[in-house]
């Protein structure tokens, strides 16, 4: 049997398992650049406007940090510049997909099950890599074709597609390597995300230091820097593909060698032994819950910090639009001042942030239920821990954790927008307020989950259904022309519109009332019911 | 207090399944009480009710003089529990779990913990996800045995332990007895119960079918007898305690309840005994009989 026997079957298995998510990400990654091309072309119809825009962007160091330098003040060049984060995102997705189909499978013991059938040693890794690399190539090809078709230089379009695909493939390879190192998929993911974070920061610091700066060499130390130095639309330097491709090949070869040497499910880095005794603080249900929730919470807080800062950086684009187009500025002035458009944008973005934070709120609350169904709640409840404090130890994370994530997002947005606009004292409290106002609605989903766990534990995952319905109402409600009472089902409908809007107490009070009632009902239910 | 656990007429249903159907169980303070029964008999359910994790539908359950449903946290300081299925947190080490559970219960004897870790040969520094089934079981056992409590509720504590570790476990429980603790030990393994327990309750389909000291239970066992007689036997089949009688000319083979042994032997001698072999009663048979009836009952129901 060759080490690759069965690869085809495993590829089909992956395609079947990912039949929904794979087309979704390939589609979105592929179409973002061409959409942006269209909108840039509309916003900056002639060369002088483009040049002016490019100049403002270049003058702004925080934008250089985020996106890198503008290499070419043309439509294509600016799109490639603005979409450079897409390269990072594709790298992240590719890495996660490969780990999902290699180490996660092994950790869950499914690989052992499959390994016992007629499947070669490297077939699993090969299948995961083939699917991911093909998907990356599709993204690159579609991007190149669609951009070229929208009248920007062909060479640049191809170069940008290649940048995307190359970084995706590089991190697919890196993930194949990383998946060999650890026993747990969680640690493998952490290693990969950390590596991408490092490449990003190196590139960022290098670019901030300027073309002739003392730290510019850091760009060359970062694989993201290599890819960026291809310089789409600005005299492409195709030779940078050699080191990128070379590194990818080396990573895959090393991964194959490592996989050939180790046992199934074992890692290369030894699983570290932990402490033989518990830390003095590990003596309450809350301390236990902290151990169980902290990783997830940390991930969300970091995510929201990044997310918020990105949002903050978008605020100024709107002002640029106003500067470029006096007609629009006039309309906005009539509507209530130049700030209205920025405020509307932030209102929408924070609404989105609230919806996303609700995912965490539900996820954290459901952890409590998962502890119960995995029989880990039982030994704790058989000690002197009361049911209410046990429940609260998890609920606290759902409430305060989502609160923390949202506020960090607001703070990030406030700082970035404040720095760009040169008025942090104004923007930080304003955007913190806009973030905070989402919380009553976010917490409603915590409270709903708590009520379900207490009163109808077998139906507790219905809270995902509720969140799905709220998503639909928020995004499509107005378009579909749904009746007001349907829109009213979503707690987000009732929130005051911040920033800029007025805060009235009434909706907050009754949202708070329903929230408390749901929480109390859930706790009372949990006190009275059987613990499985 | 003379009784650590007193259960009367306990009823618990899960939907249409009646898991407990009028169960009676008494565990005296200071004894090791064996709790036996086939799969699904209701042992774990009983223990969960005693822990206040499940709410009974009828009857009464008292534990250490209190009501397990009303004041669980106070009672839980005085007992330790080892579940039948031990699952650990993947990212906590065994040592951390032992300390945590002990502390949540109100305290843990570090010296005993160390001694037990050594005796059970467990590395406390490994993460929960990397323990084997037997080692997970050990973590829960050490957490329970290292805490200074009055009552131990052990649900099939030796499931997954290798024979060497089972012996260590037996030693530990014997020591617990010397410390004056009460132990309720559910099990499928008769030999374990025979070596450790003072009294035993056998349950089936949510009811206690036998309960008493091992000697009392032996009394309920049957002696099996084969004999060659001078003449064909008569009147044997009319005797109450005789089972599985087979007659082949002058040869007979039967089982007899230990309480009826005397009457049966009188019948045999009245016909004249040429040869006689008897097999002494074992608990195993009694035990299997209750398990067997279960199977037969189910077949009959089908
Ligand atoms: N949470 C539950 N929901 C529904 N039925 C249950 C539940 N827990 C137990 N049962 C049912 O109650 C009955 C008694 O189960 P229990 O777990 O108490 O048996 P047991 O004596 O511990 O068996 P075993 O020796 O297999 O551990 C079984 O029929 C079981 O299917
Ligand atoms: Mg059981």
Domain ranges of chain B: 3-213, 222-280
> What confidence category does residue A265 fall into, taking pLDDT thresholds of 50, 70 and 90?
low
Distance CA A366, CA A360 (A): 10
Average pLDDT value for residue range A371-396: 95
Does A390 share its domain with A511? yes
Domain count, chain A: 2
> CB-CB: which of A275, A376, A385 is closest to B104?
A385
**B155: chain A residues, CB-CB within 8 Å:** none
> What confidence category does residue B192 fall into, taking pLDDT thresholds of 50, 70 and 90?
confident
pLDDT score, position A61: 63
User: Looking at the domain assignment, is residue A231 inside a domain?
Assistant: yes
Does A262 share its domain with A288? no
List the B17-28 sheet strands across, edge first: B17-28, B3-14, B58-63
For residue B204, which ligand has an atom nearest its CA?
1
Q: Look at residues A94, A125, A86, A104 and name the one whose alpha carbon lies nearest to residue A4.
A: A125
Does A134 share its domain with A202? yes
- Per-residue pLDDT tens over the stretch B147-190: 889 999 999 999 889 989 999 999 999 887 778 899 999 988 77
Distance B34 CA to ligand 2 centre (A): 14
Query: What is the distance in angstroms between the Cα of B88 and the nearest Cα belonging to chain A?
Result: 7
Q: Looking at chain A, which residue has its C-alpha nearest residue B44?
A: A532
What DSSP state is assigned to residue B42?
A: S
- What is the predicted ipTM? 0.84
Distance B43 CA to ligand 2 centre (A): 6
Q: Examine the pLDDT at B134 and tell me if it is beyond 70.
A: yes
Q: Which residues of A229-263 are buried (b: 16+ CB within 10 A; e: fewer)?
A: bbbbbbebeeebbeebeeebeebbeebbebbeeee
Interface test with chain B among A278, A370, A391, by most B beta carbons within 10 Å? A278
> CB-CB: which of B76, B100, B130 is closest to A384?
B76
Protein residue closest via CA to atom 7 of ligand 1: B14
Query: What is the distance in angstroms between the Cα of A276 and the nearest Cα belonging to chain B?
Result: 5
Interface of B with A in 20-59 (CB under 8 A): 48, 51, 53-55
Number of cross-chain residue pairs from A and B with Cβ atoms under 8 Å apart? 106
Query: What is the distance in angstroms between the Cα of A272 and the nearest Cα belonging to chain B?
Result: 8
Does A334 share its domain with A245? no
Q: Which residues of A38-56 are buried (b: 16+ CB within 10 A; e: fewer)?
A: eebbebbeeeeebeebbee
Q: Is the dihedral of CA A456, A457, A459, A461 positive or negative?
A: positive
pLDDT score, position A334: 63
Half-sphere exposure in the Cβ direction for A114 (13 Å, CA): 24
Does A116 share its domain with A184? yes
User: Looking at the domain assignment, is residue A361 inside a domain?
Assistant: yes
**Residue A518: its H or E element:** helix A505-528
Q: Look at residues B272, B235, B280 and name the one whose alpha carbon lies nearest to residue B256.
A: B280
Distance A381 CA to ligand 2 centre (A): 18
| Ligand 1 atom closest to Cα of residue B203 | 21
pLDDT score, position A365: 94
Number of neighbouring beta carbons within 10 Å of residue B279: 12
Does A420 share its domain with A490? yes
The finding on whether B19 has its CB within 6 A of some atom of ligand 1 is yes
A276 in reach of chain B (CB within 8 A): yes
User: Looking at the domain assignment, is residue A276 inside a domain?
Assistant: no
Does A262 share its domain with A387? no
Structure-model confidence comparison of residues A455 and B107, the more confident one: A455
Tell me which of 1.10.10, 3.40.50, 1.10.287, 3.30.70 is the CATH number of domain B222-280: 3.30.70
Among A314-328, B60-74, B196-210, B278-292, the minimum mean pLDDT is found in A314-328
Distance CA A191, CA B22 (A): 57
Q: Examine the pLDDT at A325 and tell me if it is beyond 80.
A: no
User: Looking at the domain assignment, is residue A274 inside a domain?
Assistant: no
Does A262 share its domain with A312? no
Distance B181 CA to ligand 1 centre (A): 27
Average pLDDT value for residue range B92-100: 95
The finding on whether B37 has its CB within 6 A of some atom of ligand 1 is yes
pLDDT score, position A181: 86
- Per-residue pLDDT tens over the stretch A191-247: 888 788 788 878 877 887 777 777 788 888 999 999 999 999 998 999 999 999 999
What DSSP state is assigned to residue B186?
A: E
Sorted by sequence, the CB contacts under 8 Å of residue B191 that are 6+ apart come out as none
Per the CB < 8 Å rule, is B74 touching A386?
no
What range does the domain containing A183 cover?
1-269
The residue out of A244, A269, A294 marking a domain boundary is A269
Average pLDDT value for residue range A171-182: 93
Distance CA A224, CA A349 (A): 28
pLDDT score, position A483: 84
pLDDT-above-90 percentage for chain A: 51
Distance CA A54, CA A77 (A): 9
Helices (H), chain B: 43-50, 72-76, 94-105, 110-119, 133-145, 163-178, 190-196, 214-219, 261-271, 283-301
Q: Examine the pLDDT at B195 and tell me if it is beyond 60.
A: yes
Does A12 share its domain with A87? yes
> CB-CB: which of B51, B89, B126 is closest to A382?
B51
Per the CB < 8 Å rule, is A383 touching B101?
yes
Instruction: Dump the DSSP string for B272-294.
Output: -EEEEEEE---HHHHHHHHHHHH
Distance CA B291, CA B286 (A): 9
Q: Domain B3-213 adopts which CATH fold?
A: Rossmann fold (3.40.50)
pLDDT score, position A329: 67
The finding on whether B20 has its CB within 6 A of some atom of ligand 1 is no
Structure-model confidence comparison of residues A108 and A495, the more confident one: A495
Protein residue closest via CA to atom 9 of ligand 1: B45
Interface test with chain B among A297, A379, A393, by most B beta carbons within 10 Å? A379
Q: Looking at chain B, which residue has its C-alpha nearest residue A107?
A: B129
Global pTM exceeds 0.90:
no
B77 in reach of chain A (CB within 8 A): yes
Does A297 share its domain with A260? no
User: Looking at the domain assignment, is residue A277 inside a domain?
Assistant: no
Structure-model confidence comparison of residues A327 and B53, the more confident one: B53
Structure tokens at B248: 């082949």
| Ligand 1 atom closest to Cα of residue B206 | 14
Interface of A with B in 280-339 (CB under 8 A): 282-285, 287-288, 291-292, 295
Distance B45 CA to ligand 1 centre (A): 6
Does A249 share its domain with A296? no
**A283: chain B residues, CB-CB within 8 Å:** 100, 103-104
Residues, chain A = 532
Does A406 share its domain with A297? yes
- Per-residue pLDDT tens over the stretch A34-86: 888 888 888 888 888 888 888 877 776 657 777 888 999 999 999 999 888 88
The residue out of A216, A246, A269 marking a domain boundary is A269
Q: Examine the pLDDT at A263 and tell me if it is beyond 60.
A: yes
Task: Return the CA Rg of chain B.
Answer: 23
Residues with CB under 5 A from ligand 2 (ion): B 44, 84
Distance CA A449, CA A519 (A): 9
For residue B17, which ligand has an atom nearest its CA?
1
Per the CB < 8 Å rule, is A384 touching B73?
yes
3-state secondary structure of B81: strand
A263 in reach of chain B (CB within 8 A): no
Q: Examine the pLDDT at B28 and tell me if it is beyond 90.
A: yes
**Residue A397: its H or E element:** none
């Amino acid at each position: 049997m060759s080490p690759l026997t069965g690869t085809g079957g495993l590829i089909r298995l992956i395609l079947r398992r990912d039949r929904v998510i794979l087309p979704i990400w390939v589609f979105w990654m592929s179409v973002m650049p061409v959409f942006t091309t269209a909108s840039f072309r509309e916003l900056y119809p002639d060369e002088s406007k483009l040049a002016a825009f490019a100049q403002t962007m270049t003058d702004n160091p925080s934008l250089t940090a985020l996106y890198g330098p503008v290499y070419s003040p043309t439509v294509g060049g600016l799109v490639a510049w603005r979409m450079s984060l897409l390269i990072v995102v594709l790298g992240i997705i590719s890495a996660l997909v490969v780990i999902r189909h290699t180490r996660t499978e092994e950790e869950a013991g499914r690989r052992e099950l499959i390994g016992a059938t007629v499947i070669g040693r490297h077939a699993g890794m090969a299948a995961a890599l083939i699917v991911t690399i093909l998907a990356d190539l599709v993204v690159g090809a579609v991007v190149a074709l669609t951009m070229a078709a929208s009248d920007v230089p062909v060479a640049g379009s191809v170069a940008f597609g290649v940048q995307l695909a190359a970084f995706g493939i590089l991190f697919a390879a890196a993930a194949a390597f990383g998946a060999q190192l650890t026993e747990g998929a969680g640690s493998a993911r952490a290693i990969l995300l950390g590596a991408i974070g490092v490449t990003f920061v190196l590139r960022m610091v290098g670019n901030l230091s300027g073309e002739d700066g003392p730290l510019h060499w850091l760009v060359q130390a970062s694989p993201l820097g290599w890819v960026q130095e291809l310089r789409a639309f600005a005299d492409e330097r195709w030779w940078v593909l050699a080191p990128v491709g070379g590194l990818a090949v080396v990573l895959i070869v090393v991964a194959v060698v490592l996989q050939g040497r180790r046992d199934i499910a074992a890692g290369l880095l030894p699983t570290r032994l932990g402490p033989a005794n518990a830390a003095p603080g590990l003596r309450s249900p809350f301390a236990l819950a902290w151990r169980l929730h902290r990783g997830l919470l940390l991930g969300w807080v970091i995510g929201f910090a990044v997310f918020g800062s990105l949002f903050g950086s978008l605020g100024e684009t709107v002002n640029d639009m106003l500067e470029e187009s006096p007609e629009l500025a006039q309309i906005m002035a009539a509507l209530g001042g130049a700030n209205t458009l920025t405020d509307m944008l932030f209102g929408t973005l924070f609404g989105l942030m609230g919806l996303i934070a609700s995912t965490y709120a539900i996820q954290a609350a459901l952890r409590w239920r998962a502890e119960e169904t995995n029989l880990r709640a039982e030994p704790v409840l058989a000690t002197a821990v009361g049911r209410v404090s046990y429940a609260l130890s998890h609920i606290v994370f759902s409430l305060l954790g989502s609160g923390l994530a949202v506020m960090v997002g607001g703070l990030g947005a406030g700082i970035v927008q404040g720095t760009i606009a040169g008025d942090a004292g104004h923007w930080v409290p304003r955007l913190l307020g806009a973030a905070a106002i989402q919380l009553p609605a976010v917490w409603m989903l915590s409270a709903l989950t708590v009520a379900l766990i207490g009163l109808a534990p077998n139906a507790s995952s219905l809270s995902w259904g509720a969140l799905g319905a709220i998503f639909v109402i928020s995004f499509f409600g107005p378009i579909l022309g749904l009746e007001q009472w349907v829109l009213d089902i979503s707690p987000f409908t009732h929130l005051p519109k911040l920033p800029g809007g007025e805060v009235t107490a009434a909706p907050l009070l009754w949202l708070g009332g329903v929230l408390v009632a749901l929480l109390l009902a859930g706790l009372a239910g949990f006190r009275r019911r059987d613990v499985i | 207090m003379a009784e650590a656990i007193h259960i009367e007429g306990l009823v618990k249903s899960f939907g249409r399944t009646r898991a407990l159907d009028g169960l009676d169980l008494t565990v005296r303070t200071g004894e090791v009480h064996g709790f036996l029964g086939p799969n699904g008999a209701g042992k774990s359910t009983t223990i969960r009710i005693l822990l206040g994790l499940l709410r009974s539908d009828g009857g009464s359950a008292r534990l250490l003089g209190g009501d397990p449903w009303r004041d669980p946290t106070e009672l839980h300081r005085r007992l330790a529990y080892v579940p039948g299925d031990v699952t650990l947190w993947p990212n906590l080490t065994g040592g951390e779990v032992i300390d945590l559970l002990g502390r949540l219960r109100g305290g843990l004897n570090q010296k005993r913990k160390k001694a037990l870790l050594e005796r059970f040969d467990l590395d406390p520094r490994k993460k929960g996800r990397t323990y084997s089934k037997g080692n997970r079981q050990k973590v829960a056992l050490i957490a329970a045995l290292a805490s200074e409590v009055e009552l131990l509720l052990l649900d099939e504590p030796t499931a997954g332990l290798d024979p060497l570790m089972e012996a260590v476990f037996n030693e530990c429980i014997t020591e617990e007895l010397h410390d004056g603790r009460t132990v309720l030990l559910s099990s499928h393994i008769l030999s374990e119960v025979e070596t450790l327990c003072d009294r035993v309750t056998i349950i089936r389909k949510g009811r206690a079918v036998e309960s008493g000291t091992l000697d009392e239970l032996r009394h309920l066992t049957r002696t099996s007898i084969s004999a060659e007689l001078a003449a064909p036997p008569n009147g044997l089949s009319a005797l109450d305690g005789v089972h599985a009688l087979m007659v082949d000319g002058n040869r007979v083979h039967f089982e007899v309840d230990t309480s009826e042994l005397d009457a049966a032997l009188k019948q045999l001698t009245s016909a004249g005994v040429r040869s006689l072999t008897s097999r002494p009663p074992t608990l195993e048979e009694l035990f299997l009989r209750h398990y067997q009836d279960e199977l037969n009952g189910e077949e009959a129901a089908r």
